Structure 1
Amino acid sequence: MSVRAGYDGFFRMEEWIPVFIHVANEGPAIEGELRITINNAGSEKLTYTSPVSLPTKSNKRVVMYVLLPSFRSRITVHLYDDEGNRVHSANSELLKVINSDELLYGVVTSDPSEFSVLENAKLTYKRASAAFLTLDELPENGVAWRALNVVVLDDVDTSQLTNDQRQAMLNWVSDGGQLVVTGGAGWQKTAVPLADILPVTVTGSQSIETLPALETATNQPFRDPGPYLVAISTLRNGELIFHQDGLPLLARRSLGRGSVFFLAPDPKLPPLADWDGSVAIWEAVLSQISSTPFWRNGVQNMYAAGTAVTALPSLALPSVPQIALFLFAYVIIIGPVNYHILKRFNRRELAWLTIPAIIIFFSGLSYLVGNQMRGTNIILNQLNVAYGQLDAPTMKVQSIIGLYSPQRHTYDLTLPPNSLIRPFDYNFGTTISGGNIRDIQYSNNIIVNDIRTDISEIKTFLADTYIPAPNITGQATIINKNGTLNLEITIQNNSDLTLENAAILMGSTAYSLGHIPPGSSTTHANTFTTSLTSPTYTSFAPLSENAHILLGTSNYYSDREVFPRWQLLQAIETSSRFPGNTLTANNDRITLIAWTNQTLMDIQPDTNNYETIGTTLYLLDIPLTNTFVQTTDNTQSVTIDPSLLNWRVLSNSTVYEINIYNLYLDNGWVQFSYKPWDIFKEFQAEELIIVVESSDVTLPVSVSLWNWEQRTWEELENLKPGANKINNPAPYIGPGNEVQIEIRATTGGVSIDAIYPLLTGQIKN
């Protein structure tokens, strides 16, 4: 028996990883199971199993999926026979952890030796690693692909991908993955089976003497002389990143939130092999990886998740007035009423019988009411969060599952094979727990075996899957009208769902759309201003801060129907405002948020005596386009509103709760990077104003700009509150119109209301 875990041994903590197990049997036939046991928080253990049938002279391959809550050096797999005897054990190779700020390539190629360049292509990631895989090591479950940032398919026969592998790959791309398909001599076996998702139509290959456009674009001369073998294609759907006189060299198309690239040259051959410019090509791929807001990373707050899924309105406790009324009736009947009745019949000596009888009656009544309130059916509660994009075919779903049992019992739960599930303990805030279950079994379906429940107990689980997206279309367009930027959004609900409390989230601000019934459409318009007196606060918890809009009420604490939705918002949102250089505010995403009373996952208990209730929160990105009106000189002058800038923290010292608005400096400093949304690729800044707003008119800070030509920070002279125009802006405007600003406190305790650049320039048509 041999075990291969993760992606070439790489894995991410708290992300599902595949475990590939090869079992050969030369002895007597065995009917048994494979087991993997993972130690979780404290002394709890979670066991994953898969049944296996091993006739004599058999050789089988089994794939299981596990979740590692912390670092593990190896994964051990045990084989047990049908009598519970351990037959064999095997360990995986040493595992290597990939942190959240590190990059992981998955490379399927006939020759891994020529892909060492990938370790140098990392952009702002701390480290890049390449996992070299075979085609059959690409999982059939899309959830397990999330550890990978980029997948490269090079010189391999992609027709060998199973339907489940192909669907898992498409789900991963739709969720933000970057897929690179290469050309060269092997273009037919690699590209043709994937022709329907490529940005180009490939027609053949050809030797080309020189590719000067690629040398110019990367500013790196080729090491090896031509001719160079290149796949010949025409652009079909997407854009050209690099091309030679219109011949695609690197082309890209969007697929949901991700991208599919076609790289025409063979990366193992000249000119790309051992060429310094190759890094620029791979970093062009990496530049399409969009950073995600915190709330797109799934459940973060386990306590809030547990509170949400266990807050069943039908099982709510009696209110304080109801309990008070019951106690009042009890006291009145056992006291004055009982006394007056006995006195009237002159039988007060019977009080020793009537008082116990009244006590027994009210006790029985309390028991009957309580038993009725807890019900007789088990309840399966699903709180789903669906992440996707309006033009994507599928969406990612994470489901918080609560299994309520009115009595002490043991249950099984069955889920579809394209999903993954684990128990969690919200009381201790752990993302994984033993959950009082026997095991999670991988067979034709996913089965959680022997879930042990007590009376009126709710067991909690987290499940992940991908499902088809609802038929909802829409578009967000930024229009330049006489130098003023306007946003126009259209949403068309072609599904059979009523989208409740629909809203548009842009940056940190939500705009209500109301309910959107099936078959109806709605629009929203917004004008961007560049007012220096009313900046838009950038929040790292926009869902919570706009809860009154997203929930349709401010009374979400006491409303039993709305409270679980409020807790669900809390569960998926976390505010990371601690010192560090990883904070970003990428606002170039406009999201449709809406609710439905709907279940998304097909989860079946092993009993017919149950009811299912569900709530789904949709978070669907809206495709963003532009309409820039033509002018006679083929240019348009425009000022980029601060809300149309992405910003991130480059570095800082002793600054907490970092934000470009409401920033507090206590003898510390912060370096920010600002860049217009990607939709402004054709924008060229010509004027630069640095805005520093503060209630302290003395402004005890120094502000410096990064000089891209001199590669150094230069302090601004004569800094004043408000707008500070830069007379010679060119050295301070970098690639993509990026501006970097450093602000330092020259004395302790300085409050900055806002700091950002205003960029004015031309949009080339």
Structure 2
Amino acid sequence: MLKGKILRGLNKILLLSLVLFLLSAVQFPINTLSATEQNKEITIDISYGYGNIAKGGRYLPIHVYYKNFTNDNFTGKVSIEFIEADNKKYAYEYNVNLEQKKIYLTDYYIRISNEVNKIVVVLKDENKKTIIEKDVSLNMEANRSKIMVGLLSDSQNKLDYFDDVAINFGLLNLNTVNLAAGSFPKSSSGLEQLDMIIISNFRIRDLSTEQSRALMNWVKQGGVLVMGTGQRADDTIGRYAPELLEDIYDSPKMNTLNFTFNNESKSIDLYTTSINMHGGNVLLSDGDFPLITSVNKQKGLIAVAGFDFCDLNDFAAENTQFARYIVSTVLGDERIENFSKQSEVSDDTFQNIEPILNSSETNKLPPMTVYTLIFIAYVLLIGPISFIYLKDYGLAIYYRKIVVLMSLLLLAVIIIYNGRTRFTTTFYNYVTVYEAGDLDVSESTYVNLRNPYNKPYNVVIDSNYSVIPVIRDRSDVDDRRVLNKSTSVNIDNEEYTKNISLNHVGAFASNIWKLDKTIENLNNEGFTGEINFFNGSLSVEITNNYDYKVKNATLILYGKIALLGDFDKGETKQIDNCQFINIPLTDFNITSRIITGMVGETTINQNGSVNGMDTEKYMQLLNVSNFLSFYLGENSNGYTADARIIAFSDTALSNPIFFNNTMEGSGLTLLTSVIPVNSIEDGKIYRQSLLKMPIVLSGDYSYIDNALKSNEATVLEYFLGENINIAQVKFEQISDIFSDTRYSDSVKVFKGNIALYNFKTGNFDYISKNNFSILELLTYLSDTNTIRVRYSNIENGNLETALPMVSVLGVEK
């Protein structure tokens, strides 16, 4: 009996096993069929950046690989979505058109902050039905120690020695990316993930005009461009020679070069050419031969080597510290420090620009004087005047009704009068920087979009604009008002327009955007002229090429400003012995007030006027000053040899920002152009020693701000130039206006002791004057034309201490 039960049990198990086996055998063809069916559909694969490396605070390329295996053409949209630091959902939409049985690779550029860790890519058909949705994780944290370096060369493998190079004591590593002319981005957005680009052994004219413009725009926004020359100097630098070089370079020839690093000197025979850049800073030299020279371009830097980096391939393999030495020298300590802190420093653009944009609608301010008079008249009318009048005529019983009637009449008057201070539709405030060059015009606009109602709204702009949301820092976001998950921003990119839709962002909530575009200068707009600055004497001849009057025109040299006044349409001004002011580079608030005429005492009169101006005009001027201070601070990047003309325009730009005539808008336009400066006269040259970064022998010094960062004594070694016979050295002190006690909370000017190191005695000698002849300097000059200066007895305080500029007069060898 028991045996029979066991056998029946075993039979059941075997039968069940057979059924499971048959089911599993049938399942494999189902899976195979399913996979086959899937290959007859639309699929997408996604990658991002360069090798799936992402850095926040920049544009990130999103690469979408479409495969349409169907027998039908597909029309729809792809949406790239993510949650930003301000807790708003952002979606960038693009049209997608896929032909049947075709494969496509498309790049999209979106701006993200350091707070974005995931994006969602959604493919929708023309009925807005979701076809595919994919999540993509961005590994931001792991990439923050990387410096991304693009390599553009016909011999890419010979530049591989720059890959995986450790700098800053191993805290940062280089990650190289191979670039090619065929796939080189046509917009600076496609280059923003790169920190540095090295071009060597490459014909740069193979880049199109759009690609070349994208490269220069990338530099101006903060990129570092390094160019090798050697035998192919014409190919590499020829396109930019008129803009970058002081004079024509010699034909390449074979030379023996010496590189000194790790306290050793290494020699190599290379084809070289001597590059003399306009306003160039010699970063590395071999005797009198400039190995690498650099020049600042707005926020970025261009460095040109007198040799081809590809020729150093074997040399770098033998000397493994060589690449680190080159990169560290080009970047400099301050840039390397900024790279190290790039993930720690929060973007405060929103907090800085919002007050400026919110203050530009001064015509909407209520006139307090008028309201005060209306209130006094109302009190008198409903009080003694009405009561006495009605009592005299025996109508006192109607007093309450009269008061109610007068109150209603006053309410109607207030409502009607308030019409000018009310918003009834979407409105915007903007500030625009309009930079006109010989070939191109760059327009950069910050705009604050607001709506008086808590309802969705949308705006339309030209597709040539790049659209960057300016994100409020997460620590500044009020969590109570961001709980609504429907709060979102959608940017729909069409062929000729971009449609921005804002959903449930709140009434009057600030939505700040940065809009950039670059176009050809077809109307020859801008400022042109000649500037001569020699040994403290400034003469200018400037022409206003705009079709309208400009105000508060100012010439900005490195560490100096000269007020030129207003220019009428087409006006040319010639000013000899133009007066200028030496300014600190630590803070531009006082400088901007000088330019706008707001440096006097602030007085408020009984009638409510400020400094003799009505409140509205004063607020407008204050806003202009604040915007100018913001602009100067954003574009301060150390020494530059060229001058910049700035001026303000009351005339709106010819093309409106938004394609909507019903919107209300107001703002400011800052016009600017760059003009070369001539500092040579009768064979003599006048220049700043800060052309080259001084060596900090002790203390804490900021080269970009030319300031002491602490209160301790600091010793700097200034390079006066090896290729110059020095005749005179000047310490150009900051102008006295900045020492006014009214500005002590903004600017601290050095008023301590200055001493020069005496190479003969080995001691520091205190000095009491600012000008020194060559005879007075003989014991203070080193063999390589350097002087060591000690700044001591520095005032206490938390502000940086602005130092004098050191200038040199002499004859080039």
State if a TM-score over 0.5 links the two structures.
yes
How far apart are the structure 2 equivalents of 1:302 and 1:663? 26
Q: 2:463 aligns with which of 416, 438, 443?
A: 416
Q: Is the 8 A contact 1:48 1:439 kept in 2?
A: yes
Deviation at 1:281, TM superposition (A): 7.7
How far apart are the structure 2 equivalents of 1:114 and 1:548? 53
Q: Is the 8 A contact 1:10 1:96 kept in 2?
A: no
**Partner SS, residue 562 of structure 2:** strand
Q: 1:500 aligns with which of 533, 551, 554?
A: 551
Tell me which amino acid in the other structure corresponds to 2:517: T
Q: How many residues matched?
A: 706
Q: Is the 8 A contact 2:592 2:626 kept in 1?
A: no
Change (3 A) 1:753 1:44: closer
Q: Are 1:69 and 2:113 matched, yes or no?
A: yes
Deviations 1:623-664 (A, max 9, x none): 22321324xxxx88x8x78898866867647x9999878997
Runs of at least 5 residues in structure 2 that lack an aligned partner in the other structure? 1-43, 339-344, 601-610, 735-750
How far apart are the structure 2 equivalents of 1:88 and 1:450? 23
**Aligned match of 1:716:** 763
Change (3 A) 1:137 1:76: farther
**Aligned match of 1:591:** 644
How far apart are the structure 2 equivalents of 1:385 and 1:691? 31
Q: How does 1:175-186 map to 2 (within 5 A)?
A: none
Deviations 1:317-355 (A, max 9, x none): 322221111111221222234324433543322234322
Tell me which amino acid in the other structure corresponds to 2:590: S
Q: 2:529 aligns with which of 445, 451, 474?
A: 474
Q: How does 1:444-459 map to 2 (within 5 A)?
A: 444=495, 445-450=497-502, 459=511
How far apart are the structure 1 equivalents of 2:752 and 2:665? 60
How far apart are the structure 1 equivalents of 2:811 and 2:102? 66
Q: How does 1:387-536 map to 2 (within 5 A)?
A: 393-394=439-440, 396-405=442-451, 409=455, 410-425=457-472, 437-444=488-495, 445-450=497-502, 459-468=511-520, 470-479=525-534, 485-524=536-575
**Aligned match of 1:324:** 372
How far apart are the structure 2 equivalents of 1:185 and 1:657? 34
Q: 2:404 aligns with which of 346, 356, 361?
A: 356
Q: 1:15 aligns with which of 58, 80, 95?
A: 58
Q: Pick the structure with more strand per residue.
A: 1
Q: Is the 8 A contact 2:151 2:177 kept in 1?
A: yes
Q: Is the 8 A contact 2:649 2:668 kept in 1?
A: yes
Change (3 A) 1:373 1:316: closer
Change (3 A) 1:157 1:85: farther
Q: How does 1:564-583 map to 2 (within 5 A)?
A: 564-572=623-631
**Aligned match of 2:341:** none
**Aligned match of 1:532:** none
Runs of at least 5 residues in structure 1 that lack an aligned partner in the other structure? 530-534, 577-582, 694-698
Q: Is the 8 A contact 2:109 2:189 kept in 1?
A: no
Change (3 A) 1:601 1:249: farther
**Partner SS, residue 211 of structure 2:** helix
Q: Is the 8 A contact 2:447 2:513 kept in 1?
A: yes
Deviation at 1:495, TM superposition (A): 2.9
Q: 2:433 aligns with which of 379, 385, 410?
A: 385
**Partner SS, residue 211 of structure 1:** strand
Q: Is the 8 A contact 1:404 1:456 kept in 2?
A: yes
Q: Is the 8 A contact 2:294 2:301 kept in 1?
A: no
Q: Pick the structure with more helix per residue.
A: 2
Change (3 A) 1:567 1:118: same
Q: Is the 8 A contact 1:17 1:65 kept in 2?
A: yes
**Partner SS, residue 438 of structure 1:** strand
Structure-2-length-normalised TM-score: 0.68
**Partner SS, residue 20 of structure 1:** strand
**Aligned match of 1:171:** 217
**Aligned match of 2:67:** 24
Q: Is the 8 A contact 2:464 2:517 kept in 1?
A: no
Deviations 1:172-226 (A, max 9, x none): 4566756566689999998999999997999xx9xx9x82254699996666x8x
Deviations 1:677-699 (A, max 9, x none): xxx67324589899999xxxxx9
Tell me which amino acid in the other structure corresponds to 1:412: V
Change (3 A) 1:673 1:664: same
Q: Are 1:6 and 2:49 matched, yes or no?
A: yes
Tell me which amino acid in the other structure corresponds to 1:132: V
**Aligned match of 1:132:** 177
Change (3 A) 1:524 1:602: same
Change (3 A) 1:752 1:95: closer
How far apart are the structure 1 equivalents of 2:433 and 2:486? 22
How far apart are the structure 1 equivalents of 2:347 and 2:647? 18
Deviations 1:243-282 (A, max 9, x none): 99xx999999999986596977571677777475788887
Q: How does 1:93-112 map to 2 (within 5 A)?
A: 94-95=139-140, 104-109=148-153, 112=156
**Aligned match of 2:198:** 152
Deviation at 1:505, TM superposition (A): 2.8
Q: Is the 8 A contact 2:123 2:133 kept in 1?
A: yes
Deviation at 1:473, TM superposition (A): 1.4
Q: CA RMSD in A?
A: 6.0
Q: Are 1:50 and 2:94 matched, yes or no?
A: yes
How far apart are the structure 2 equivalents of 1:8 and 1:651? 42
**Aligned match of 2:679:** 626
Q: Is the 8 A contact 1:265 1:272 kept in 2?
A: no
Deviation at 1:493, TM superposition (A): 2.0
Structure-1-length-normalised TM-score: 0.71
Deviations 1:575-603 (A, max 9, x none): 99xxxxxx985375533221112445955
**Aligned match of 1:36:** 80
**Aligned match of 1:547:** 593
How far apart are the structure 2 equivalents of 1:467 and 1:97? 38
Q: 1:560 aligns with which of 597, 619, 624?
A: 619
Change (3 A) 1:36 1:306: same
Q: Alignment identity in percent?
A: 15
**Partner SS, residue 562 of structure 1:** helix
Deviation at 1:542, TM superposition (A): 2.9
How far apart are the structure 2 equivalents of 1:347 and 1:16? 76
Q: Is the 8 A contact 2:86 2:471 kept in 1?
A: no
Tell me which amino acid in the other structure corresponds to 1:613: S
**Partner SS, residue 398 of structure 2:** helix
Q: Is the 8 A contact 2:561 2:582 kept in 1?
A: no
Tell me which amino acid in the other structure corresponds to 2:447: I
Q: Is the 8 A contact 1:591 1:622 kept in 2?
A: yes
Deviation at 1:764, TM superposition (A): 2.4
Deviations 1:47-73 (A, max 9, x none): 333232334433233332233322556
Q: Is the 8 A contact 2:728 2:810 kept in 1?
A: no
**Partner SS, residue 360 of structure 1:** helix
**Partner SS, residue 517 of structure 2:** strand
Deviation at 1:487, TM superposition (A): 3.3
- Structure showing greater Rg: 2
**Aligned match of 1:696:** none
Change (3 A) 1:448 1:743: same
Q: Is the 8 A contact 1:102 1:128 kept in 2?
A: yes
**Partner SS, residue 495 of structure 1:** coil
Moved more, 354-363 or 595-604: 595-604
Q: 1:142 aligns with which of 177, 184, 188?
A: 188
Deviations 1:100-128 (A, max 9, x none): x9965321346544324446698999857
Q: Is the 8 A contact 2:647 2:672 kept in 1?
A: yes
